[in-house]
Structure 1
Amino acid sequence: MHYLILSFTHRNTTLPIRDKLAFNDDESKLSFLQRSVDSPFVNEAIVLSTCNRIEVITSCNNPTEASKHLYLLLNEHSGIALDELEGRAEQFEDQGGIHHLFSVASSLDSLIVGETQIAGQLKDAYRFALEHGFCADKLTRAVNYAFKCAAEVRNRTEISSKPVSVASVAVAAARRAFGSLEGKSALVIGSGEMSVIAARTLYNHGAEVSLMNRTMAKIEPLAEEVGGSLVPFNRLADVLGKYDMIFSATGSETPIIDGSMPFRRDEPCHWFDMAVPRDIDEVDHAMVKVYRIDDLKNTVDENIMLREEEAKASFAIVGRYTAEFYAWLKSLNIEPLIKAMYQRAEASAREESTRAIAKGFLPKTYEAQAQKMALQAIKRYLHPQVMQLRRAADVGDIDAIIESMAFILNMSEE
């Protein structure tokens, strides 16, 4: 069994590429996951699709053939050429894959290091795959250990002491642009976590918040929380020029703000597109500045510098957890071998005591005692060997031992 992850992130892809790769609905995820595990080379699969990353996380029996299959599926899903997909992707296998997964869960691979959204997004992706039967023991072990690692990073370092997200960084960019948000008007479009964070952060900085969504009932509680007004979605074109700021994070597959929409604005305004695929088309207006997710990298760079020392400590934790995880996996591989040794010892004790009685070496009435004595003798002999195997498993470097024992016991390794 191997772990294999194909990773497309803000580091190796542009926003248009991620737009095409994104899984924007359950139907597309289900289809991709089903076709992934239909391959004889892929056993389990999870798709993590967020604004800044698309990760295909799998357990497989042949990484080379599995990756070929997955690249073909991604090609069909996105329309991006195979050679470009293979050239852009970061491909992680086995221990490298586990280290990457733990880093992602701990928010060390995020656009904004230390942001807290990614753990929840990974949890949602895992649950989706598990509930639909695409995820079992192998990935469950890895993901659960990833959450343990992320918790340790949060508890032992200051990496997330001041939680940030793409939405909060967008608001920070607005604050820099205006100097102060007190009394500034803002329209927040969407009902997801990004929109909620943006609305709350704007409210906390004194902005006057209006909310818009296709389903108004979903944003009514948030409107009440931030003292905001509700704007019907079908009035979007009518109100574009009204607000100092627009923050948009919907699940639309096409831009909801078209560059050709007419509006009048005499003062500077700032529009923040926090969605993938993008919500805001190219806009050519002297008073409008559009910020996209990739435009937030300056703030990200500042954030990384401030957290550099904490990131070093965090990566040390990730490295330790990666080593511990593989040692634990190897100990799981040892136990079936140990169990097989004892089962065969019991069978031998039973066979020899039966043979001794059949040949008249012992009376029939002593059969149970003879079996017990033979078994105890074999167990006493095996005990130091078993303890040595478990000590080797604790050290972690026992691949050759497992392979040799499996060969000696005529057991195929899983």
Structure 2
Amino acid sequence: MSYLVISFSHKNIDIKMREKLAFNGEEDKDRYLRQILENEHTKEAVVLSTCNRVEIVTRSSNVKNSAKNIIEKLSAYSGLDFDTLYDRADIYDNDGAVHHLFSVASALDSLVIGETQIVGQLKDAFRFSQAKGHCSTNITRVMHYAFKCAANVRNATSLGTGSVSVASTAVAKAKEIIGNTKGVKALVIGAGEMSELTIKHLISSGFDVVLTSRDIKKAQNLASTFLEESAKAQEVKVDVKPYSELTNLLAQIPVMITATSAPYPIITKENAPSSLINRYWFDIAVPRDIDENISLSGLEVFTVDDLQDIVNENMSLRAEQAKMAYSIVSRMSMEFFEWLKSLEIEPVVKNLYLKGETIIDKKVKNAIKKGYIRAEEEENIRKLCQTVITEYLHNPSKQLKDISKNMECDLVVSTVQNMFALNKESNIPKKYKCDHLTKN
């Protein structure tokens, strides 16, 4: 069985394809996971779907067959051509899959290197799959190490500081265009996690925020959290407006950032107003919130792909830190496989001792039955035999544990199991606790 990751991101497909691949509802994601797990070669699966990527993380006994099936089902879901998807897909197997997953979790594969949202999104994807019964021991193990790796990168580097998200990049671009932001209004559409992050960056950049959402109560709750935090700073302003006023707000406010989870454009040619002022709209949602065919005088529309210039500058500033982070990812990828091998060794060593105990029990009972030893001597004889077995197996056990770090581990373990007729089934519990799951 190998780890397998199928990856679609800003690196290999454009935003039009990404928005068709995106899973915006839990029912769609659950249905897709169940479909790919019907394949006899695919065991356990997690789907990570964000504005910039779709990652399918699985275990497979036949990588080629699983990859083909996963992409076929993705083609059926998205309506995109299978051959196009297959040609564009980045397919990672085993050590490559683990290295890629660790890089994704550590935000080294993101559009904005070091962005802080990805590890939380990966944890949510894992929790969802775990809750639905789509993954168990082996995926849990690799996720455990992925989150551990992300934490190590975050603690050892400064990649998690500064402007490191699509939301913050959009705000940075808006500030660059506007210049002096004092008294300048910025409209935020949506009241989810991305909108919350956007508001935070807009406030820190000096904008006055206007918030609107179809869910007006959710918008009011979100605005109130910022007002409470900034009660002492009277100049900070977050106004909530009814969604019915959207067209007027779009006409009057120079900066707009939209980040809803709507499955279709919420701003179209029908409701996009003309205006006498210059306006700058940032669409950081996937699928896009703004119809790509809108063209109005004095209006510039930016999507996540249009923010690449700031991203490139961000990458050059973070190059040295990223180099350090990649070394952590590489080291922890190797550590992960060493750890997996050690898990394979422990049951073998345990079974060697259990085999010895079984033989002692059989021989002692037989000796008592035939009168070779007295029944009252049984306990002492057993202790003597156990001492012999422990001393005899000490060096072989130690060498087996050392072999777990070598490439020959699988061959040696299999040979030992065959020689001693040991049970090859792992004694590792089915449920494996992930220590890093609750830490964002």
Range with bigger deviation, 74-83 or 218-227: 218-227
What SS does the corresponding residue of 1:47 show, helix, strand or coil?
Answer: strand
Are 2:281 and 1:271 aligned?
yes
Equivalent position amino acid for 1:404 in 2:
T
- Residue 222 of structure 1 is matched in structure 2 by 222
Structure 1 residues 278 and 262: alpha-carbon distance in aligned structure 2, compared to 1, 3 A threshold: closer
Q: How far does residue 271 in structure 1 lie from its aligned partner after superposition?
A: 0.3
Map 1:335-346 to 2 at 5 A.
335-346=346-357
Q: 403, 418, 421: which is aligned to 1:407?
A: 418
Asked if 1:280 is matched to 2:285, the reply is no
Please list the CA deviations of residues 98-154 of structure 1 after superposition, one character each: whole Å capped at 9, or x if unmatched: 111111111111100011010111111111111121121111111111111111111
- Deviation of 1:264 after TM superposition, in Å, equals 2.5
- Conservation of the 8 A alpha-carbon contact between 2:2 and 2:93: yes
Compare 142-151 and 60-69 and name the one that shifted more.
60-69
2:367 aligned partner: 356
Deviations 1:253-311 (A, max 9, x none): 11000023352212211000000000000211121100001111111111111110110
Residues 349-369 of structure 1 show CA distances to partners (whole Å, capped at 9, x for unaligned) of 122223333333223332333
Provide the C-alpha distance between the structure 1 equivalents of 2:404 and 2:259, rounded to a whole number of angstroms: 48
Q: Distance in 2 between matches of 1:262 and 1:13?
A: 28
Query: Hey, what's the Cα distance between the residues in 2 that align with 1:255 and 1:276?
Result: 10
Q: Does 1:108 align with 2:108?
A: yes
Q: Check the 8 A contact 2:15/2:305 in 1, yes or no.
A: yes
Of 249, 252, 258, the residue aligned with 1:248 is 258
Residue 174 of structure 2 aligns with which residue?
A: 174
Q: Which residue identity lines up with residue 363 of structure 2 in the other structure?
A: E
- Taking the aligned partners of 2:383 and 2:356, their CA distance within structure 1 comes to 11
Gaps in structure 2 of 5+ consecutive residues: 227-235, 427-440
Corresponding pairs, count: 414
Q: Which residue of 2 aligns with 1:366?
A: 377
Contact 1:346 1:375 in 2 (8 A): yes
CA contact (8 A) 1:115 1:164 kept: yes
Q: Which residue of 2 aligns with 1:258?
A: 268
Note if contact 1:330-1:396 (Cα within 8 Å) is conserved in structure 2.
Answer: no
Alignment match, 2:211: 211
Match of 2:232 in 1: none
Displacement after TM superposition at 1:181 (Å) = 1.9
Whether the aligned pair in 2 keeps the contact of 1:326 and 1:396 (CA below 8 Å) is: no
One-letter identity of the residue aligned with 1:263: P
8 A Cα contact 1:406 1:413, kept in partner: no
Q: Give yes or no for contact 1:188–1:209 (8 Å, CA) kept in 2.
A: yes
Structure 1: how far apart are the matches of 2:304 and 2:338?
39
**Counterpart in 1 of 2:2?**
2
In structure 1, C-alpha distance between the alignment counterparts of 2:148 and 2:25, rounded to whole Å:
29
For the Cα contact (< 8 Å) 1:116–1:163, is it kept in 2? no
In structure 1, what is the equivalent of residue 305 of structure 2? 294
- Indicate the residue corresponding to 1:39 in structure 2: 39
Judge conservation of contact 2:163–2:169 (CA < 8 Å) in 1.
no
Structure 2 residue 342 is matched with structure 1 residue 331: yes
Give CA deviations for 1:38-67 in whole Å, capped at 9, x if unaligned.
322222111100000000111233322222
Match of 2:435 in 1: none
Counterparts of 1:379-398 in structure 2, within 5 Å, are 379-394=390-405, 398=409
Q: Return the alpha-carbon distance in structure 2 between the equivalents of residues 90 and 413 of structure 1.
A: 33
Distance in 2 between the 1:149 and 1:60 partners? Answer: 23
Question: Which residue type is aligned with residue 309 of structure 1?
Answer: E
Alpha-carbon distance in 1 for matches of 2:86, 2:418 = 37
Pick which of 365-374 and 105-114 moved more: 365-374
The secondary structure found in structure 2 opposite 1:44 is strand
Distance 1:250 1:401 in 2: 54
Give the residue type in structure 2 aligned to 1:272. F
Q: d(CA) in 1 for partners of 2:36 and 2:73?
A: 8
TM-score, with length taken from structure 2: 0.90
Q: Report if aligned partners of 2:274, 2:296 keep a CA contact under 8 Å in 1.
A: no
- The alpha carbon displacement at 1:396 in A equals 6.4
Deviates more, 1:61-70 or 1:99-108: 61-70
Q: Secondary structure at the match of 2:404?
A: helix
217-226 or 159-168, which deviates more: 217-226
1:219 aligned counterpart, secondary structure: helix
Q: Which deviates the most, 18-27 or 386-395? A: 386-395
In 2, the alpha carbon distance for the partners of 1:220 and 1:147 equals 33
How many Å apart are 1:343 and its aligned residue? 1.1
Which range moved further: 175-184 or 387-396? Answer: 387-396
1:134 aligns with 2:134: yes
Cα drift, residue 406 of structure 1: 2.8
SS in structure 2 of the partner of residue 46 of structure 1:
strand
Partner of 2:69: 69
Contact 1:188 1:212 in 2 (8 A): yes
Q: Which runs of 4+ in 1 moved over 4 A?
A: 394-397
More off after superposition, 88-97 vs 349-358: 349-358
What is residue 314 of structure 1 aligned with on the other side?
Answer: 325
Note the aligned Cα RMSD (angstroms): 1.7
Give the AA of the match of 1:308.
A
